Structures are given as structure tokens and as C-alpha cells.
Amino acid sequence: MKRNAMGVCVSGAMLALSAMGAMQSAQAADWSDNSIGYRYGTKFAEPYNNQDITKNIVNFTHASGYKYGSNFLNVDLLMSDSKDSSAQEAYIVYRHTLDFGKIAGKDLKWGPIRGFGFTGGFDWNTKNDTSYASKKRMLVVGPTLMMDVPGFLNISLFALFESNQPKTISSRYTYDTHPMLNMAWGIPIGSTPLAFEGYLNWIAAKGKNEFGGSTGPELNIDMQVMYDLGTPLGLGKNTFRVGLEYQYWRNKFGNPSNVPGSLAKTPMIRAEYHF
């Protein structure tokens, strides 16, 4: 059973990567960055589970820019300890942002705003735990502001079209369409080899869940301070980076605060190799 589910995880990840490769060839990227990363923490939480969970996470990330905008893809492969059924999970996030200034061939900078855009994409997951076994599918669309900061800071307001089909229900369930405020950033810390990076998602309640219960508004803040170890090792600037990460996730997956495991406060260590 677990082997089959993990096969689905890998197949989904490879499908996304193949599609991404074809897209990049067609779009002739002006710049691109790929990385393979690893993170580890012992304080993960899952709804309806009141235990601290240890997870090892391996990820692939791709970011690129082309004539009219940018792409972002992240594939996480999450492996839990026995407190979460020794479950394996794949979670894929893809975002494509059209830059209106690039399309128009004009500088649209206005005050603290570097540019304006429109973002679309999806989230996709599958997990083989013995209880819920999530099969999330979500489309994401909405406007994006690109702020004028060192590095980048993008602020987006998305409409979310989300569904799930855990193993306890016979057909796919669609939640109410609901909004999400998203912030994503990567900002160098002065002239040091450090950078402050992360994202914030505030997600409104999405109506009733698939079992008829109420959902709650969700707050997910994931941030890290990363150190460029590649330069002193002679590997090239930002080729190899290590750092500390912290995630605060309230009402995880929309589960209200009275649900055990709906609040996660998770410190992690993180390392990534860029190529």
C-alpha cells in the first residue's frame, strides 16, 4: 500500500517536472535557478494528532524568468516518523506570474511598487497515512504586486478553488471558493552572506469540510535565515547554503483551533545545493 502510494507521489512529481521542462524550453528563460534541498524538524503537527512528529523533507525547487514573467515550482517529498503512520507525502506548488510591465514594454514602477502582475498556478498533494490520506487539488489565480526591495517581495491576493478526496469519502469534495493573501520574499541582509526568505499565507475559512464540520481561517508563516557557505568553500556564491527555518501554522488545512494538532510551531534545519 505505501509503496503504491509513494509511486503515485513520484509519478506526480515527475509529471510536473516534465511539464516544467517543456515550458522552459518554449519560453527561453532569461535566468533560472534550480536547487535540491533537505530540511529536518521534530515538532511537526498534523490535525487530529496530538503528538510531535519528526519529518525528513527532500525538495526540488525551480525558479526562472523569461520575456513576459516568471515561473516557480517546488516539489516536497515528506517522510514522517511512526507518530504519523511513517507516512510519505508529495506536495507540489507551481506558480506562473505574468509581468504587465514586461508585456507592455514599460516601466510601471510606482512609489514602493516595482511592478504589477497576474499569477496563476496549482497545489497538488498525495499522502499515504492510515487515517485521512489527503489528495488535495487546488487552482490559484489573482493579482500580484512586486515591491521595490533588495531581492524580491511579492504580495498577491488569490482566489482558491480547492478540493480533496481522502480515503474515507467516495467522491471528490469541493470547498467554497475562498481568498488567500500571500507574501513571498527573499531579501539579502546587507552585504553579509545571509538572506532572509520565506512566505506568509493568510487563508479565509472555506465553508464546511467534507464531513460537514466548520473550517477556520488559516495562517501559515514559513521563514528562514540562510547562510552562503558556497563562497568560503570555493563552490561559488550561493551554490551551497545552510540555515535555520521556522514555521508557524495556525488552523492547519482549515481545521479550527479546537482540533488537536491544528497548531504547528516547527523549528527546522535546512540545507540546499543550487545549480
- 85 neighbors 129 (Cβ within 8 angstroms): yes
206-228 tens-digit pLDDT? 999 999 999 999 999 999 999 99
* pLDDT, mean of residues 196-200: 98
Report CA-CA distances (Å) from 10 to 3, 13, 76, 267.
Answer: 11, 5, 10, 27
Q: Where are the domains of the chain?
A: 2-274
Reduce the DSSP state of residue 188 to 3 states and report it.
strand
User: For residue 19, is pLDDT > 50?
Assistant: no
> Would you state the pLDDT for residue 275?
96
pLDDT digits (tens, 9 = 90+) for 44-87: 999 999 999 999 999 999 999 999 999 999 999 999 999 999 99
Residue 101 is predicted with a pLDDT of: 97
Q: Name the average pLDDT for the chain.
A: 92
Taking 70 as the threshold, does the pLDDT of residue 196 lie above it?
Answer: yes
Whether the per-residue pLDDT at 22 is higher than 70: the answer is: no
For residues 233, 234, 239 and 243, what is the CA-based torsion angle, rounded to 10 degrees?
A: 20
pLDDT of residue 13: 45
Cβ-defined contacts of 37-40 (< 8 Å, 24+)? 37/61, 37/270, 37/271, 37/272, 37/273, 38/270, 38/271, 38/272, 39/245, 39/268, 39/269, 39/270, 39/271, 40/268, 40/269
User: Does the pLDDT at position 153 exceed 50?
Assistant: yes
Average pLDDT over residues 159-181: 96
Q: Does 149 have pLDDT greater than 90?
A: yes
- % of the chain residues with pLDDT over 70: 90
Task: Work out the angle at residue 259's Cα, subtended by the Cα atoms of residues 255 and 260, and round it to the nearest 5 degrees.
Answer: 125
In this prediction, residue 27 has a pLDDT band, given cuts at 50, 70 and 90, of: low
CATH fit for domain 2-274, picks 2.40.230.20, 1.10.10.10, 3.40.1010.10, 1.10.150.20 = 2.40.230.20
The Cβ-side half-sphere exposure at 23, using a 13 Å CA radius, reads: 21
The pLDDT of residue 2? 34
Q: What is the pLDDT of residues 102-142, one digit of tens each?
A: 999 999 999 999 999 999 999 999 999 999 999 999 999 99
Q: Is 49 helix (H, G, I), strand (E, B) or coil?
A: strand
Q: In whole angstroms, what separates CA 91 from the centre of its chain?
A: 8
Torsion of CA 123, 128, 133, 136, to 10 degrees: 10
Q: According to the model, what pLDDT value does residue 28 have?
A: 74
Checking if the pLDDT of 199 tops 50, the result is: yes
Amino acid at 176: D
